[in-house]
Chains A and B, each alone.
Chain A
């Protein structure tokens, strides 16, 4: 079956760095997405990886290893506004997104 695994919750300190991991198993693969969702709001797109390697976008970076079925989202210089849920989703051979349950990130001062 198709499956996405990511930690349920993580805690980090303001100004620090945190890495949120995601492993996936899908029928075919057409890319890996990360979304951010603040409580009570819509998910918003953060990143897309389809090739192996690291994509950097400001304070956020996303990494993909297709051979390992693994991705991570790296958040640097954490700010209180980064407290949110981070959703990992893999696109299968039918171009449908398979979603993880999300990682709730709590930032402490």
Chain B
């Protein structure tokens, strides 16, 4: 298994649909992240989970709902999205703690298109 996997890789959904993005890490890390990447913009941190507890949500709209059932899995539940939510959604994980510099490892991303 590669380090960080994401499914699906591509998703097209209507504004009234409900879908979920899945992320899984096989690196023994203790922190996981959701980012939004739009063209020519900086990566936007959406959510951080450290030791399975959410520590940051950066004022993300409530139509995005994260879930972290354990340290290896992270979900992003989507409902009633808007066309401007179309973007690449990246999951990352890292090992936090003494002696680490918290390098983040990224998954390949889910390319989301909202019609």
Contact = CB atoms under 8 A, between A and B. Distances in A.
Closest 6 CB pairs of A and B: A42-B106, A99-B43, A99-B42, A101-B42, A42-B108, A43-B106
Given A42-B90, A95-B96, 9 more contacts: A31-B101, A42-B109, A43-B106, A44-B106, A45-B104, A48-B101, A89-B43, A96-B56, A98-B42
A35 B37 CA distance: 14
Contact of A45 (B90, B103, B107): B103
Interface of A: 4, 8, 30-31, 33, 35, 41-45, 48, 50, 87, 89, 91, 95-102
A4 B107 contact: no
Interface size class of B (residues with CB under 8 A): 10 to 19
A43 B109 CA distance: 10
8 contacts: A4-B42, A33-B103, A35-B106, A42-B90, A43-B43, A48-B103, A97-B104, A98-B42
Contacts of A91: 101-102
Interface string B93-114: 0001000011111111100000
Interface of B: 4, 40-43, 45, 48, 56, 90, 96, 101-109
A26 to B, nearest CB: 13
Given A42-B107, A42-B108, A100 B42 contact: yes
B106 A96 contact: no
A50 B108 contact: no
Nearest to B48: A96
A2 to B, nearest CB: 10
B105 to A, nearest CB: 7
A101 B45 contact: no
B103 A96 contact: no
A102 B106 CA distance: 16
Contacts of A35: 106
Nearest to A9: B40
